[in-house]
Amino acid sequence: MDSLNRQIEMLEKEHTYYEETINLRKKQFHTLLVSADEILYSIKQNREGKEYEWIKALDELTEDLTQDDETDIDDNEDDKEDGILEDKENLIDNDYVKIDFKPLYQCLHIYDVLGESLELKNSYEEIRRQQASSILTTPFSLKSKDNLQTFKTYINDIVGFFIIEYIVMNSTQNFRSKVWIDSLWELTINKTRDNIALQLGDCESTDLFLEIKNIVIVFIQTLESFNYTVTKLLDLMIILFERYSRLLKQQYSSQLSQLIQNEDFIPMVLNSADEYEKLLNAYTLQENSEVILQGFPRTLEFSKSFPESCIIVKTFIQKFYQFIQGFTQNYGEMDDLLKKSLDSLLLDDLNGSLMRKMKNKSIKLTQIVQIYYDMEFYIKACDEFEQELSRRKSSKTSSDINLAHIKTKFIDSQKMAEEKIFDIINEKIDMFVDLSGYNWMPDKASTEPSSYIQDIINWLETIISTTLTNLPESIKSFVYFDAFNHLSSSLLKYLTQQTSGTQKMNIYFVETIDKDVANIESFIESLNNPMILDCFTELRQIINLLLSPNPENFLNPSIKNRLYYSVNIHPLIILLEKLLKGHENNKIALMFNNPLDYNRRKNIENLIRVLKQQYSEQLMRQKELLVEKSQKQANKNLERVFDKR
């Protein structure tokens, strides 16, 4: 009986010992759980040193712990485990983090002996679920750098939580369910992705975006190394990248637009070698040795906005690729985003701003010419932009970004600048013609060419030799051609106008116009440019016909084809009628010196009658052709309808 009492007393003491041990292990285990948030700091420190060695150490630890039998923990295994944890690269035992898993393993052993393993497992899962919920509902902000620490804390807590889950699951048997952890991980990444995407709406700093990106990349790479699925987090990086690129594009678009808007478009002047070096950082200037030896100051062909634009574009590319650094996936999507953003920056903002500047009604000829020169350099700069893209792109990107279509747009814009040059010159010519001050009914013909004609010639010579001096010879020749062609058209339009005071003219007025046109023709011949010689052909032939004593010869096909082949019927009718009205008071005058005698008037009247008939027939024929064309098109449309049926 005494022996039985001693055994009962011994069992009671053992039960008390185990109960105290369980409570102690529970406290130690709780300490283990609340230490999770310290792990990420260790991760960060180790990544800043030897990037992946700590992962190798952790893998060795996990392999050893997995091989251990938790039901047979002895001093040898503890020594082996301690040896691994003492390694300086060990994730869970270093100068910053010390987490001892032995209390957990001992708890597992004790609960297993007591047959209460399920209770511990359920209790552990509930605690971890509460901890996960607490972490995911932790508020953070991405509005400014001052709020960034709240985001770091949020990410650190998640990383620490799931690293512990990984270690515990792989170092125990049937304690942690992979399905349960994967389910919790899925919930976590969905919630994390949504939270970050929501908070990014408040972020307006590209530099802050880069810091956020770096934190998220470490987050992804860390948990991926622990075999967690990170596909949805990579999708988050695309969301982050899209918003970053949009913000970056907005920032540099504003800079480009403001730069072009404030540009005066005058040639850039280099005043020192330092300015020259800064210029070379923006654009590789191709100069021969003679130009370089000229020293400073030195005037360049382009305006100062050109190199500044190049710096903005290159900085944009650099900032873009700064974000991509650290990625190992999704290069295709990011290249597509870069291409779209760069296209928009170069086409909508740079080229678009230049186009809007050219369309400004107050722009000067010198500014348009400068834009033309700048466009030439923007076309060349596309090659440097391509080189910058190629230099910075990842080796994982298979193809280069080609900017040939950007060059084409710049070439089109340069042609528009060329056309704008012609338009401004033509507007100036129109102004000269409008201020010509012709007397349509003079008492006698002028003995000298009109002064405005000489003003036009002098002005054209001046702008060709100064403002347009650096343009290609082909364009300068075309400037002359377009200017004189427009002057000829303007004079003919001026002569055929039907406004008050211009509805009649006399022969002396025609002789004055003849002298002015002859002066222009003389200047054109001095240019020795065959392309310009025919600009005044129609006007010259009309004047010759008006001055001819036999205007009826126009109806003779052989004479017309030889002398009046460029004359159109309609303006000729108007001018002949004006000439008749100018001499209507001389209908029955028989004086020898009458500038428009009776027979000549009759010939002109007959000519007008025949020309009007021809013009009417011409209009009728054009109308018939138009109806015929419309009918053919209607028949084709009907045939298509029947074919579809």
For residue 292, the model assigns a pLDDT of 59
Task: Pick the more confident residue, 453 or 642.
Answer: 453
Task: Pick the more confident residue, 79 or 123.
Answer: 123
Determine the average pLDDT of the residues in 449-467.
92
For residue 90, the model assigns a pLDDT of 61
* Residue 488: both structure tokens together: 């000829």
Q: Which tens digit of pLDDT belongs to each residue from 299-311?
A: 888 999 999 999 9
- Helix then strand count (H, E) for the chain reads 24, 2
For residue 477, the model assigns a pLDDT of 87
Angle among Cα 76, 80, 86 to the nearest 5 degrees reads: 140
Gap between the Cα atoms of 306 and 350, Å rounded: 10
Determine the average pLDDT of the residues in 527-549.
92
For residue 374, the model assigns a pLDDT of 95
Task: Pick the more confident residue, 23 or 69.
Answer: 23
Residue-wise DSSP of 461-518: HHHHHTTTTTS-HHHHHHHHHHHHHHHHHHHHHHHH--STT-S---HHHHHHHHHHHH
pLDDT at residue 15 is higher than 70: no
Gap between the Cα atoms of 76 and 82, Å rounded: 10
Radius of gyration of the chain (CA): 45
Question: Among 180-194, 323-337, 429-443, whose mean pLDDT is lowest?
Answer: 323-337
Q: Which tens digit of pLDDT belongs to each residue from 436-449?
A: 889 999 988 888 99
For residue 290, the model assigns a pLDDT of 54
For residue 608, the model assigns a pLDDT of 93
Gap between the Cα atoms of 602 and 599, Å rounded: 5
Question: Among 270-279, 323-332, 355-364, whose mean pLDDT is lowest?
Answer: 323-332
For residue 397, the model assigns a pLDDT of 57
Determine the average pLDDT of the residues in 614-642.
80
Q: What is the DSSP letter of 103?
A: H
Query: Which stretches does DSSP call E strand in 360-401?
Result: none
For residue 328, the model assigns a pLDDT of 57
For residue 241, the model assigns a pLDDT of 82
For residue 74, the model assigns a pLDDT of 40
Burial class (CB in 10 A: 0-12, 13-18, 19+), 131: middle
Gap between the Cα atoms of 546 and 567, Å rounded: 12
Task: Name the residue ranges covered by the structural domains of the chain.
Answer: 2-225, 244-416, 435-615
What amino acid is encoded at 482 in this protein? D
Q: How confident is the model at residue 106 (pLDDT cuts 50, 70, 90)?
A: confident
Task: Pick the more confident residue, 18 or 569.
Answer: 569
Determine the average pLDDT of the residues in 615-620.
89
Is residue 35 within a helix (H) or strand (E), and if so which, with residue range?
none
What amino acid is encoded at 145 in this protein? K
Q: What is the DSSP letter of 346?
A: I
Give the closest residue to 572 by CA, choosing from 543, 593, 529, 537.
543
Gap between the Cα atoms of 624 and 263, Å rounded: 55
For residue 170, the model assigns a pLDDT of 86
Give me the helices (H) in 68-205, please: 75-85, 102-114, 117-136, 148-171, 178-199
For residue 432, the model assigns a pLDDT of 93
Gap between the Cα atoms of 611 and 591, Å rounded: 29
Q: How confident is the model at residue 332 (pLDDT cuts 50, 70, 90)?
A: low
Gap between the Cα atoms of 150 and 141, Å rounded: 7
Determine the average pLDDT of the residues in 618-643.
78
Gap between the Cα atoms of 628 and 119, Å rounded: 96
Determine the average pLDDT of the residues in 345-363.
93
Contact predicate 495/513, CB 8 Å:
yes
